[in-house]
Amino acid sequence: MNNGIVEKPPSRALDGFDDWGGEDHDGRAEQGSLVKFTNEAEWIANDEVLPPTLELVAVNIDRYVVFWSPDGSGPNREKSYYLKPGQKFPDIDQLNADTPKDQWRDAFGKLQGPWQAQHIVRLLHPVSMDRYSFPTSTNGGHAAVVELRQRTRDMRQVRGERVFAVVRFVTFGDDGAVNSSVLVASDAPSLAGPTASGGMKTVETPSAKEAVKDEIVF
């Protein structure tokens, strides 16, 4: 996974589940601890390994178009930008094809174009209110974020509530080996409303009738 980017995005009205947003959901500059997946197959934040029991609430999804500096020093902040609500990712392959090779960089043992699409999942601890950010530019990471978004949107459609998913960070692979770093939804994915524990209540999984808004006759 490439190094993440944390900086203040522009202000916005909707979170990234209802529409692909490009900003932190409340416009504050701080983005919390940056979550990374190491070569040792560990999830870390602030150089500390995250406990496997840690579960966080996914409160927003940002989308970022990154332009990496050719010297490997990191992203070029002047050229990189957040996408606005409803704005699609540009054609990254075409952007790289149009960029002179002297602006490309060595990454993971090969020459790569400077432009890259990135998703950033914004996370919140429901008790401590500590913030975390999980940036990903991998195919597996993008697929996981898209699935997280779709499941959240589906639950909101069925329940009519502004629910959010609880997620955990796990290794990926049937045999326990790490094949990819992904963000995985937990078995109890949706939350809404206040309770005494963390200010949340669990939203029950919808029945088939609720999901299709009709009776199912066998």
Cα–Cα distance, 28 to 132 (Å, whole number) = 13
Local confidence band at 19 (pLDDT 50, 70, 90 cut-offs): low
Could you tell me the pTM of the whole model? Answer: 0.70
Q: pLDDT digits over 114-135, tens only? A: 999 999 999 999 888 999 999 9
Where exactly are the structural domains of the chain? 33-212
Q: pLDDT digits over 20-70, tens only? A: 544 444 433 347 899 988 888 888 998 999 988 888 999 899 999 999 999
Output the 3-class SS for the chain: CCCCCCCCCCCCCCCCCCCCECCCCCCCCCCCEEEEECCCCCEEECCEECCCCCCEEEEEEEEEEEEECCCCCCECCCCCEECCCCCCCCCHHHHHHCCCHHHCEEECCEEECCEEEEEEEEEECCCCCCEEEEEECCHHHHHHHHHHHHHHHHHHHHHCCCCEEEEEEECCCCCCCCCCCEEEEEEEEEEECCCCCCCCEECCCCCHHHHHCCCCCC
Q: pLDDT digits over 81-125, tens only? A: 999 888 999 999 999 999 999 999 998 889 999 999 999 999 999
Nearest to 186 by CA among 171, 172, 167: 167
